[in-house]
Amino acid sequence: MYLYLRNLVAASALLLLPMLAHADSFTYSLNDTFASFSVTGTITTDTNSGAVGTSNITGYNIFLNDGISTLNLTPGNSQSEVAGSSLTATASGLFFNFDDPSIAFLVLQHPALGSGNNYLCYQSAGGGCDDYNGAHESVWIADDGQIVEPRSGNLEIASMANTEVPEPESLVLLGTGLVGLVGVVRRRLVG
């Protein structure tokens, strides 16, 4: 009987571990469509509050389309970098302050940073990815050349994806239910 209860508790704990690991992961959806290019996909961070740095970006899957070529950016085929404090996260979205007068940017580039083309860039008024186009969102895919969309203000560049992240209260409720289940099973076996 003791072995049965121990195995039941161990199995319950194993079921909870993936949910606990996912609780510190926040996925945001990108969906920008301009006349000359589009950016869709997701960015995952380990924070949903305050400034976001390079180390806070834990994953991404971004699809670029300039009307001629397409490019899929992932951590496996590219690199990302955040400079400055213009990229911020909230519980509802990722924001980029294009009006920031300091050098600030978010760039994702294939195969490596500084390799010339194959990138997505968000740049503040102070410069960053390139210093001559002002505040903008831009892409460059293959040999198609850079395409720039001027931007201004503190804009939401990605919204919270429609994924369910367990709240601590839900996990406590689930754990309490499992403890209750163990008690019922134990009472039936003993009684």
| Tens place of pLDDT per residue across the chain (191 aa) | 555 555 555 555 545 544 444 458 999 999 999 999 999 999 999 999 999 999 999 999 999 999 999 999 999 999 999 999 999 999 999 999 999 999 999 999 999 999 989 999 999 999 998 878 899 999 999 999 999 999 999 999 999 976 555 555 555 556 666 666 666 666 676 66
Which pLDDT belongs to residue 177? 65
- Altogether, the residues listed in the chain come to a count of 191
Residues in contact with 3: Cβ distance below 8 Å, sequence separation at least 6, in sequence order: none
pTM for the model stands at: 0.75
Other CB atoms within 10 Å distance of the CB of residue 29: 16
DSSP letter for each residue of 152-184 = -SEEEEEEE-S-----HHHHHHHHHHHHHHHHH
Measure Cα distances from 124 to 7, 13, 39, 143, 182 in Å. Answer: 55, 46, 18, 25, 56
Which pLDDT belongs to residue 19? 46
153 closest CA partner among 135, 139, 133, 138: 135
Tokens of 71: 């490019």
Secondary structure element (H or E) that encloses residue 34, with its range: none
Please state, rounded to an integer, the average pLDDT across all residues of the chain.
Answer: 85
Which pLDDT belongs to residue 184? 60
The predicted-structure confidence for 132-183, as pLDDT tens digits, reads as follows 889 999 999 999 999 999 999 999 999 997 655 555 555 555 666 666 666 6
